[in-house]
Structure 1
Amino acid sequence: MSYIISIAILLIVLFFALKPKKKSKIVSLKDVIVPEHWHQILVQNVLFYKKLTKEEQNLFQAKMVRFLEATTIEAIHFELEELDRLLIAASAVIPVFRFPNWHYANLSTVLIYPDYFDEELQFSSKTEGRNIGGLVGTGRFENHMILSRKALHHGFSNKTDKGNTAIHEFIHLLDKADGVVDGIPEALLDKQYTIPYLQLVHKKMEEINNDKSDIRNYGGTSQTEFLAVAGEYFFERPKLLKRKHPALYEMLESCFVK
Structure 2
Amino acid sequence: MEKNLLMAAFLVAVLSLAAVAFWWFTRKRSKTEIQENIAEKDFKETWRKLLTQHVSFYNELSAPLKTQFEKRIQYFLAHVRIEGVETEVEDLDRVLVAASGVIPIFGYPEWWYPNLKSVLLYDKTLNHLGLADVEGGYVMGMVGNKALKDKVLFSKGALREGFRNDADKKNVGIHEFVHLIDMADGKADGIPEVLLQKSYTLPWMHLMHEKINDIHQGASDINPYGGSSEVEFLTVASEYFFERPMLLKKKHPKLYAKLEKIFAQQLDMQKKSSRKSKREAIGRNDPCPCGSGKKYKHCCGR
TM-score class, shorter: 0.7 to 0.9
Matches within 5 A, 1:91-110: 91-110=100-119
Q: 1:198 aligned to 2:205? A: yes
Instruction: Give the aligned partner of residue 218 of structure 1.
Output: 225
- Equivalent position to 1:74, from 70, 73, 83: 83
Residue 42 of structure 1 aligns to a residue whose secondary structure is helix
Provide, for residues 119-160 of structure 1, a one-character-per-residue CA deviation record: whole Å limited to 9, x for no partner: 6349xxxxx967001001111111011111011000000022
Q: 1:132 aligned to 2:139? A: yes
Change (3 A) 1:26 1:70: closer
Instruction: Give the aligned partner of residue 42 of structure 1.
Output: 51
Higher mean alpha-carbon deviation, 29-38 vs 194-203, is at 29-38
TM value normalised by structure 2: 0.72
For residue 177 of structure 1, report the CA deviation from its aligned partner: 0.9
**How many angstroms apart in 1 are the aligned matches of 2:139 and 2:98?**
20
Instruction: Give the aligned partner of residue 256 of structure 1.
Output: 263
TM value normalised by structure 1: 0.84
- Would you identify which runs of 4 or more consecutive aligned residues in structure 1 move more than 2 Å? 25-31, 119-122
For residue 37 of structure 1, report the CA deviation from its aligned partner: 2.8
Q: 1:209 aligned to 2:216? A: yes
**How many angstroms apart in 2 are the aligned matches of 1:109 and 1:192?**
33
**How many angstroms apart in 1 are the aligned matches of 2:47 and 2:67?**
10
For residue 111 of structure 1, report the CA deviation from its aligned partner: 0.5
Instruction: Give the aligned partner of residue 167 of structure 2.
Output: 160
**How many angstroms apart in 2 are the aligned matches of 1:31 and 1:186?**
29
Q: 1:173 aligned to 2:180? A: yes
Higher mean alpha-carbon deviation, 128-137 vs 62-71, is at 128-137
Provide, for residues 19-45 of structure 1, a one-character-per-residue CA deviation record: whole Å limited to 9, x for no partner: xxxxxx976635412112322211110
Residues 175 and 235, structure 2, Cα contact 8 Å, conserved in 1: yes
**Rg comparison, structure with higher value:** 2
The one of the two structures with greater contact order (alpha-carbon pairs below 8 A, sep at least 6) is 1
For residue 220 of structure 1, report the CA deviation from its aligned partner: 0.1
- In percent, how many aligned pairs have the same letter? 45
Residue 166 of structure 1 aligns to a residue whose secondary structure is helix
